[in-house]
Amino acid sequence: MSAPHSPNQNHLIAALPDAEFERVAAHLQLIPMPLGAMVYEPGEQLEYACFPTTAIVSLHYVMESGASAETASVGNEGVVGVALFMGGDTTPSSAVVQAAGHGYRLERGLLRREFRRAGLLQNLLLRYTQALMTQVTQTAACNRHHSVEQRLSRWLLLAIDRSPSSELIVTHELMAGMLGVRREGITEAAGRLQHAGCIRYRRGHIAVLDRTRLETRACECYAVVRKELDRLLADVQYRQSAEA
């Protein structure tokens, strides 16, 4: 039986003190986030911030040719829609669900009101934004200097970190679009990882069999992103009501 939905499944919400949580709790709206759903499109007016719980959202840029590449991904550690509290209402990138699940959305006016109170929520959102900027920067460097196998390993590790299980529903086409490479490159890299015993891939499902071995196949970019997120949020105290 699946666990009941709770805003506390998102780490930022779970870190709020009781007083701040109670102000926003009644306004948090549970939403399903099916695979491939568009959270926002380039240039679109953002109406809500979304706090994923079991879903994972990919932030990516689409070129005029239709080609795209992921710049970052967001799961239960963060929030989609940082432009809302950073001074803008739109963004040139898009956000699409890469792993189906659920999340909670909060109307932009309510988010900004709480942000302006300068309480812990503001501090958490700013720290998370710094971690997100690190991920974007590291992804750019990774795409330039590392092999498809290293990049795929990094992508899988970040996805598993945010997933309630060690299995992902994802196609080679989707992974190719996220990493900005040809489908054939993903097929070859995934085949090598499967041969090495790191993963099992079949019919659009990828299961991570040996995480430690997968980490050895990834580039240093995974550790950099993970370490920065842990550093920025290391001293956060979670409410006792928060769920594991």
The answer to whether residue 39 scores a pLDDT higher than 80 is: yes
Could you read off the pLDDT of 153-202 as tens digits, one per residue? Answer: 999 999 999 888 888 888 888 888 888 888 899 999 999 999 999 999 88
Q: Is residue 238 part of a domain?
A: no
Q: Which domain holds residue 115?
A: 7-125
As a whole number, mean pLDDT of residues 95-116 equals 94
C-alpha distances in Å from residue 14, one per residue of 58, 146, 214, 233 = 22, 35, 30, 12
Same domain, 96 and 11: yes
Cα separation, 190 vs 177, whole angstroms: 15
Show which of 91, 125, 159 is a domain's final residue.
125
Q: Is residue 97 part of a domain?
A: yes
* Chain centroid offset of residue 190 CA: 21
CATH code for the domain of 200: 1.10.10.10
C-alpha distances in Å from residue 100, one per residue of 30, 57, 61, 224 = 14, 9, 20, 26
Grouping H, G, I as helix, E, B as strand and the rest as coil, residue 213 is helix
Q: Is residue 234 part of a domain?
A: no
pTM above 0.75, yes or no: yes
Q: Positive or negative CA dihedral for 35, 37, 43, 48?
A: negative
Q: What does the block give as tokens for 118?
A: 């300068």
pLDDT band per the 50, 70, 90 thresholds, residue 2 = low
Same domain, 193 and 104: no
Q: What was the pLDDT predicted at 24?
A: 94
C-alpha distances in Å from residue 190, one per residue of 19, 83, 185 = 47, 35, 9
Q: Is residue 172 part of a domain?
A: yes
The answer to whether residue 241 scores a pLDDT higher than 80 is: no
Q: What was the pLDDT predicted at 1?
A: 47
Residue 140 is inside which H or E element, if any?
A: helix 120-145
Domains in the chain: how many in total? 2
Q: Is residue 227 part of a domain?
A: no
CATH code for the domain of 68: 2.60.120.10
Same domain, 82 and 170: no
Same domain, 36 and 104: yes
Same domain, 18 and 80: yes
Do the strands 38-40 and 94-99 form a parallel or antiparallel pair, or are they unpaired?
antiparallel
Contact 182, 219 (CB under 8 A): no
Same domain, 99 and 160: no
Q: What was the pLDDT predicted at 91?
A: 85
The answer to whether residue 72 scores a pLDDT higher than 90 is: yes
Q: Is residue 114 part of a domain?
A: yes
Q: What was the pLDDT predicted at 204?
A: 81
Could you read off the pLDDT of 3-25 as tens digits, one per residue? Answer: 689 999 999 999 999 999 999 99
Q: Is residue 81 part of a domain?
A: yes
Angle at CA of residue 31, ends 66 and 84, nearest 5°: 65
Q: Positive or negative CA dihedral for 137, 138, 139, 144?
A: positive
Same domain, 13 and 117: yes
Cα separation, 148 vs 143, whole angstroms: 8
Q: What was the pLDDT predicted at 3?
A: 67
Q: Is residue 119 part of a domain?
A: yes
pLDDT band per the 50, 70, 90 thresholds, residue 244 = very low
Q: Which of the residue ranges 46-50, 105-109, 200-204, 238-242 would you say has the lowest mean pLDDT?
A: 238-242
Q: Which of 106, 205, 216, 91 is nearest to 159 (CA)?
A: 205
Same domain, 24 and 105: yes
Mean pLDDT taken over the chain: 89
Show which of 93, 125, 157 is a domain's final residue.
125
